[in-house]
Structure 1
């Protein structure tokens, strides 16, 4: 089989990691495996950047290329300026953005299936938002190639947002959006128009849908996607157990220069404590409540994934390390920690929880989205109500004071990851499905 994965990036982000893992595993199993992305940052020869810049007019293409250069060098102000100037070079596109209409003007998408210079047997799309993909071409792609879409968020069923955070308007047509700033943001409320436009696109399409959680699959079946779905599967995300595995806590702490005698908690998120979908405020309150009553050990909360200034509270510490690019070093932070804390407003199936479990680190997390499908309550961790810092602090204290319970949870956490969240298991499920899809196509069933 020749399998083409599609995602906004090749390396950065949780969805990119899952797509990348799948791309690698398909190649290792002897299949033709390729990756098309909106923004390429790695150097893999079978990864292709969709040529949106080359297909724009001279003005827009030049500023788009400069935007890419500024992004690579993390020059944020110039990156934003270059993006605005590029869009202004295409008047219709600029006007639509001012109206709040989602931008599908990405001409390189037309060349997607030609990037390989050979036949594509399976097209597997992941995140299709974030400025790189023309969703209006989805009907054409699904006519030409069996197309699998893994939903990593809710964007495909809404008028603009990737996370609905309790809003139910996606079921009936959006409009009167309660929060236009939710990622990906729009300038004005054209969410009803965006929703109906997506519905028209899906009415002309036929595709296969995968979700990592039953929670998201249930939402999909109530959405504008449902009538376009040929078949659907819940395939939990996998984690690389050769990287994320138990390591002796003392050894990990020595490597990371962390104190041996402290009670260490870890929080991981893209953007760290500034991630608006996570609930760092509740985590911090829980830490303060716990540390105020803890006289046995120094307490440290490590926030990984974003910038911040260390905060000392008496003998206790909230620590913000520099951004860690090396996933092997990230795995050491899990092993060095006594607990992984995941407070969030909404979440589908966060990789960070799987990584913590794989490293044998018990998890305390908010009971939202697909998270209850990851944690075996009272066995591999604890679930707490949203925004309940008291319940979170109580569970932290319970594990600190009961070493036997902590040891049992640690062993069960890594065991759960091996049984349920192995990367090879995920790849096997997708490959088996690909083969079933192609067999059904030959019989005329798909």
Structure 2
């Protein structure tokens, strides 16, 4: 069988990393797999882009500009990721339809990778792994507790909180028109996203399966902590709290503001020797003005390669993911694979990953005191930490091994194609 993965980027962003890992996992299984992307950063020959000529790059920029122009009529809209995908990418549709791929596997197709109308024009079976809520909303990627995706999305609070928003309602109707003409198998990495999608107006009667994101356990694995600290030039005597994401400190959804408040409470209540604690942050550089935090901060910047990430995780004593909303963060999967206990709020797909007080701690949503309690729970007792670390490793090996995840997708592909092999 031949599989084509469609994603806007090849390695930048959580969806891209998850898609790329699956793509490589399939290659390891001797499955013919290719990725097609708008933005290619690697020299991997199995990753294709149509943006190699000037005309296609101009077309991409025009689609992006027009999508942004549409949103600009809502000049008080929230500064969050919100996608239209209303302008067609004829070149990509033609490439797919003329190719000999058996299945087209969508991942994150926003930033004008494909339009909503393009979906119904594709003449191949489609699998769609949903890395956020966009496939079943009127434009938002995370609804921020809004449930209008269950109805009509005509009053999108992310666009405007004072009036009907024609654009979001129109997008939902366009999706309905396009989806109903295709037999799409949807996949969610988390049970939370499955529940949301099954409650949505668009996908409530759709074929939806849960398959988590996988990880290469030969790359993300437990290493000697002191060895890793030495590589990063870190103090061997200190404990390190790790926080990170692609836009870790600037994306409100990732909860960096909540983490800062929790750390202040943590110092005040639990930890007097504040010089023994350091906060490690990846996905952000040091800001111009110093942060008002009780602990030293070591900013590691943007990290793009897995080997470096593995060393960073193995230098940490606890990983914190204080997200307000999240699906199945790669960061937690990566941390668990390195034997690092994780602390997060009990939201979204966190419950799939973190087993409360077994491999980490699930705090009451947005209770910073409970988040601080979770940090203390992980750090205060060495024997407990060893047990948490061992359980974290076991969880990753049992549920997120890319070899097993690849097999689940291969079984799904075969079922769609109605054959044992192709």
Shared fold by TM > 0.5? yes
1:433 aligned to 381, 395, 412, which one? 412
Deviation at 1:127, TM superposition (A): 0.9
1:254 aligned to 223, 230, 240, which one? 230
Residue of structure 2 equivalent to 1:222? 199
User: Quick one: distance in 2 between partners of 1:381 and 1:197?
Assistant: 42
Residue of structure 2 equivalent to 1:8? 8
SS in structure 1 of the partner of residue 254 of structure 2: coil
Q: Which runs of 5+ in 1 are unaligned?
A: 68-82, 183-187
Residue of structure 2 equivalent to 1:304? 282
User: Quick one: distance in 2 between partners of 1:327 and 1:94?
Assistant: 33
**Is the contact between residue 22 and residue 214 of structure 2 (CA under 8 Å) also seen in structure 1?**
no
Deviation at 1:189, TM superposition (A): 5.2
2:80 is the alignment partner of 1:102 = no
**Is the contact between residue 152 and residue 201 of structure 2 (CA under 8 Å) also seen in structure 1?**
no
Report the TM-score when normalising by structure 2: 0.89
Residue of structure 2 equivalent to 1:111? 94
**Is the contact between residue 180 and residue 189 of structure 1 (CA under 8 Å) also seen in structure 2?**
no
**Is the contact between residue 220 and residue 337 of structure 2 (CA under 8 Å) also seen in structure 1?**
yes
Residue of structure 1 equivalent to 2:357? 378
> Structure 2 vs 1, CA of residues 314 and 30 (structure 1 numbering), >3 Å: closer, same or farther?
closer
Please give the root-mean-square deviation of Cα atoms over the aligned residues, in Å: 2.7
Q: Once the two structures are superposed, what CA deviation does each residue of 1:208-257 show, in whole Å capped at 9, x if it has no partner?
A: 1111111111111122442673x332101111111111111111111111
Residue of structure 1 equivalent to 2:79? none
Residue of structure 1 equivalent to 2:80? none
Q: Once the two structures are superposed, what CA deviation does each residue of 1:65-123 show, in whole Å capped at 9, x if it has no partner?
A: 8x6xxxxxxxxxxxxxxx69x847xxxx7875555792422332322315xx6411111
Q: Once the two structures are superposed, what CA deviation does each residue of 1:248-276 show, in whole Å capped at 9, x if it has no partner?
A: 11111111111111121000111121112
SS in structure 2 of the partner of residue 8 of structure 1: coil
2:333 aligned to 354, 366, 375, which one? 354
1:320 aligned to 290, 299, 317, which one? 299
> Structure 2 vs 1, CA of residues 250 and 278 (structure 1 numbering), >3 Å: closer, same or farther?
same
1:277 aligned to 245, 253, 260, which one? 253
User: Quick one: distance in 2 between partners of 1:258 and 1:371?
Assistant: 29
Residue of structure 1 equivalent to 2:399? 420
> Structure 2 vs 1, CA of residues 189 and 278 (structure 1 numbering), >3 Å: closer, same or farther?
farther
> Structure 2 vs 1, CA of residues 29 and 441 (structure 1 numbering), >3 Å: closer, same or farther?
closer
Q: Which moved more, 1:287-296 or 1:127-136?
A: 287-296
**Is the contact between residue 237 and residue 349 of structure 1 (CA under 8 Å) also seen in structure 2?**
yes
**Is the contact between residue 263 and residue 293 of structure 2 (CA under 8 Å) also seen in structure 1?**
no
**Is the contact between residue 279 and residue 344 of structure 1 (CA under 8 Å) also seen in structure 2?**
yes
**Is the contact between residue 213 and residue 405 of structure 2 (CA under 8 Å) also seen in structure 1?**
yes
Report the TM-score when normalising by structure 1: 0.84
